[in-house]
């Protein structure tokens, strides 16, 4: 196996090259590499690279970018990969499956008809996250990209939890769901799953208390009520209805 075939890159946490074997100390080089890896194997225009590396591009950004490309090629040379120039921009010569982000997307996007198989794929996908995406890349444009990647992670977490509840793990999920609902108080899906898990575990009063807390928080901080889906779940629990699976809450917002 060649160096290029074995080398891996990580964006789901701090920027990682070959599991830390190669380090890029310069922030602009890390930004350049991250911008290229986000589109692994595909060309990225010079304009986009400049926008992602600098919050306020210098007067000679194009020529400075070329210098950074040369430095990055040198840093990656021992790994057998490079940054190639094309008519439409620059491209890093690495297969997408060598980048944790693209492996995550491939696994999280399978949506297998068998729930246990899909759950296994999602667990493997989420295990690739080592922390906040692009944690040590500091440009504003890349921080915005990191926020988008975090949304992808949360959607995958939601789907994993949905499958685990469907497969009967509602009691085991309650501590995790409480933590997620506290960490993401405006993300109703976690509160809905918590209500459902509590109700299915015979704790309907606790489930209704979750709704009251969310209702109060939304009214105090946003001046609105929880969404229709949560309100309907509240009514079903209040009436003592048996609620089978999370699909009763409506579809997830999948990518």
Same domain for 94 and 180, yes or no, is no
For the record, the structure tokens of 168 come out as 């009967």
Q: Are strands 16-17 and 9-10 parallel, antiparallel or unpaired?
A: antiparallel
Q: Does residue 104 form part of some domain?
A: no
Of the three residues 98, 122, 144, the one that is the final residue of a domain is 98
pLDDT tier at 244, thresholds 50, 70, 90: low
Q: Does residue 124 form part of some domain?
A: no
Of the three residues 67, 98, 129, the one that is the final residue of a domain is 98
What range does the domain containing 33 cover? 3-98
- Read off the pTM: 0.90
Domain count, the chain: 2
User: What is the arithmetic mean of pLDDT over 208-235?
Assistant: 95
**What pLDDT is attached to residue 5?**
52
Q: Does residue 149 form part of some domain?
A: no
Same domain for 94 and 7, yes or no, is yes
Q: Over 90: is that where the pLDDT of 71 sits?
A: yes
CATH number of the domain at 206, please: 1.25.40.10
Q: Over 70: is that where the pLDDT of 29 sits?
A: yes
Of the three residues 72, 98, 124, the one that is the final residue of a domain is 98
Q: Over 90: is that where the pLDDT of 176 sits?
A: yes
């Amino acid at each position: 196996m060649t160096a290029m075939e074995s080398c891996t890159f990580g964006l789901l946490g701090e920027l990682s090259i070959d599991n830390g074997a190669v380090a890029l100390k310069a922030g602009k080089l890390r930004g350049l590499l991250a911008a290229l890896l986000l589109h692994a194997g595909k060309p990225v225009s010079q304009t986009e690279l400049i926008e992602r590396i600098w919050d306020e591009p210098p007067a000679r950004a194009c020529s400075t970018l070329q210098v950074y490309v040369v430095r990055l090629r040198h840093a990656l040379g021992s790994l057998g990969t490079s940054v190639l120039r094309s008519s439409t921009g620059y491209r890093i010569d690495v297969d997408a499956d060598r980048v944790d982000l693209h492996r995550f997307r491939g696994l999280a996007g399978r949506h297998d008809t068998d729930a246990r198989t899909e759950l296994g794929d999602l667990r493997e996908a989420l295990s690739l996250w080592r922390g906040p995406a692009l944690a040590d890349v500091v440009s504003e444009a890349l921080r915005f990209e990191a926020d988008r990647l975090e949304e992808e992670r949360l959607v995958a977490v939601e789907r994993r939890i949905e499958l685990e509840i469907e497969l009967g793990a509602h009691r085991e999920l309650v501590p995790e769901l409480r933590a997620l609902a506290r960490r993401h108080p405006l993300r109703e899906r976690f509160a809905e799953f918590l209500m459902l898990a509590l109700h299915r575990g015979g704790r309907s009063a606790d489930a209704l208390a979750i709704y009251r807390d969310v209702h109060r928080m939304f009214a105090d901080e946003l001046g609105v009520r929880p969404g229709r889906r949560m309100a309907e779940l509240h009514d079903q629990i209040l009436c003592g209805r048996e609620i089978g699976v999370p699909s009763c809450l409506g579809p997830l917002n999948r990518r």
